[in-house]
Structure 1
Amino acid sequence: MTSYATPQGGLPPQTALATTRAQFHESFAVIPRGVMRDIVTSALPGWSGARAWVLARPLTGFAETFAQLIVELAPGGGSDSPEPDKTGQAVIFVTSGDLRLTIAGTVHDLSPGGYAYLPAGCEWRIANPGTAPATFHWIRKAYEPAPGLAAPEPFVTHEAEVPIAYMPDTGATWGTQRFVAADDLRHDMHVNIVTFAPGGSIPFPETHVMEHGLYVLEGKAVYLLNQTWVEVEAGDFMWLRAFCPQACYAGGPGRFRYLLYKDVNRHPKLTLR
């Protein structure tokens, strides 16, 4: 069974050094696992038994399209009205514990690796029915309707049900699990899992319009962010502005995997919001 990194919480001892891999620049940010502590969590209105690490939110002049939270639910915790924004669509990805997700009256029990897409305006509820805390990623984006396209429907799946599509000519060292077909233009965001075998790489600096949130689920790598090579490991988060060059080498000894957000499939706006 796959194990996914989750925040360790707590506080470091008073004897710990403050030196860290945390970085914030004009084009990227690195939030390492070691700074995701109890002191930086938030409670959420409309939720009970919940605390959240807010990893990303729209910031003028930086990444602007999405919010990403890691939510920890205590046993019995949850929400009957989780989404405060009527334009907000979401992806839920479970990393530990058990969740009960109810979509328009239909109940879905999710375990680690469980994935759900929740369109804007969808009626949904979430709860932890178990006896241990549960954690999940909640990735949110305001939906952008497109002329002639219906809004997408909700769906629930598990990463074990989604095969890895390997990049051509990589010898099965670099691949992506795509939860939504790339040519399904109803969707204006993708949240996928990217996997590298030890030694696998992105062999060129990708430089593109899509913003990214990357949460490392397992393994370690050295990642190029703009002009800086950064070591990252399971539990780290990277936040990339549009056009930030990026590449990586997977370090081993096991595979390197991350949950990846990007905005897609819409015409560029010709005026600033």
Structure 2
Amino acid sequence: MSSNTYYAPHGGHPSQTELLTDRAMFTEAYAVIPKGVMRDIVTSHLPFWDKTRLWVLARPLTGFAETFSQYIMEVAPGGGSEKPEQDPNAEGVLFVVEGEIELTLQGTLHVLKTGGYAFIPPGTNWQLRNRHKDAARFHWVRKHYEAVDGVPLPEAFVTNEQDIEPIPMPGTEGRWVTTRFVDTSDMRHDMHVNIVTFQPGGVIPFAETHVMEHGLYVLEGKAVYRLNQDWVEVEAGDFMWLRAFCPQACYAGGPSRFRYLLYKDVNRHMKLTLNAPR
């Protein structure tokens, strides 16, 4: 499989001569956070993380998407954390888009390079450090795990997308494929974080309308994306945030392939009481 490149923000600040007009939008059904929004002034910091800043792309909001948060972490050389997660109920996925990190999972050291992927179950003992000479940037997707009596916790694992064969969608002749890091029939998992790839001309040929919430970070290329009633142009570095039942479709016009990191909540009954704990 050929090597992949991913867009990662580097911050900075626009000059006073630039136009204010941008593609950022927040509606009742979806949000678009374009790459130009990810500047120094909108970064955040976390307790127990050294030499680290982050862009918060999504957080649970009442009346919008409620199941997950997503960060882009930027860890400077020598930075990291010995206590990265303070929520014992939080599961997480890390996906490296630039640089290299050392991840220690339950005492075992793993080196994650670009394309590296880690699933971290709730309650796991883990640490992270950047011992490389350059900054490391990675996505961190977090969700409260929904335990089910009789279903065991999923196990931690580390891999790289280069080592996983993408699965073509039926009838697309390979124009639309998904890199799945977890078996869809594995009921231990209540979220999937996959990579979706469209070749130029590939489409989602109907308006998907479903219960799953989505976070979509464009890793590579550009496309027009149908979000509710709107067609929106998106490119590498943009983030789309969709609440449940927001109609969605896609047309990848090229000239290169279009790829995104996709979050969705799966495999659990619907809560029948509003604001019930997850």
Structure 2, gaps ≥5 residues long = none
Q: Which residue of 2 aligns with 1:91?
A: 93
Aligned pair partner of 2:134 in 121, 132, 135: 132
| Deviation at residue 81 of structure 1 after TM alignment | 0.6
1:12 Cα deviation from its structure 2 partner: 1.1
Task: Tell me the distance in 1 between the aligned counterparts of 2:234 and 2:171.
Answer: 25
Q: Which residue of 2 aligns with 1:62?
A: 64
Which residue of structure 1 lines up, in the alignment, with residue 218 of structure 2? 216
Equivalences for 1:134-149 in 2 at 5 Å? 134-149=136-151
- Counterpart CA distance in 1 for 2:253 and 2:22 is 20
Q: Does 1:160 align with 2:159?
A: no
Of all paired residues, the percent bearing the same amino acid is: 65
1:185 corresponds in structure 2 to: 187
**Aligned: 1:75 with 2:77:** yes
Q: Give, in whole Å, the separation in 2 of the partners of 1:270 and 1:62.
A: 17
Matches within 5 A, 1:40-55: 40-55=42-57
C-alpha separation in 2, matches of 1:208 and 1:57: 20
SS in 2 for 1:63: coil
SS at match of 1:254: coil
Tell me, in whole angstroms, the C-alpha distance in 1 between the residues paired with 2:180 and 2:173: 19
Q: C-alpha displacement at 1:53, in angstroms?
A: 0.0
Equivalent of 2:241 in 211, 234, 239: 239
Q: Distance in 2 between matches of 1:233 and 1:50?
A: 26
Give 1:120's match in structure 2, choosing from 108, 122, 125.
122
Residue 13 (structure 1) shift: 1.2
- Across the aligned residues of Structure 1 and Structure 2, the Cα RMSD in angstroms comes to 0.5
Match of 1:228 among 222, 227, 230: 230
One-letter code aligned to 2:149: P
The alignment covers a number of residue pairs equal to 273
- Matching residue within 185, 189, 209 for 1:207: 209
Query: What amino acid does structure 1 have at the position aligned with 2:47?
Result: P
Pick one of 10, 14, 24 that aligns with 2:12: 10
Which residue type is aligned with residue 218 of structure 1?
Answer: E
Q: AA paired with 1:91?
A: V
2-structure distance, mates of 1:14, 1:112:
34
- Give 1:8 shift: 3.0
Q: Give secondary structure in 1 for the equivalent of 2:51.
A: strand
Q: Does 1:39 align with 2:55?
A: no
Moved over 2 A (4+): none
Unaligned runs of 5+ in 1: none
**Cα offset for 1:146?**
1.0
- Partners in 2 of 1:175 and 1:242 — Cα distance? 23
One-letter amino acid of the structure 1 residue matched with residue 13 of structure 2 = L
Q: Which amino acid aligns with 2:228?
A: N
**Residue 272 of structure 1 aligns with which residue?**
274
Residues 1:263 and 2:265 are matched in the alignment: yes
2:172 maps to amino acid: T
Shift of 1:97: 0.5
Q: CA deviation at 1:43?
A: 1.0
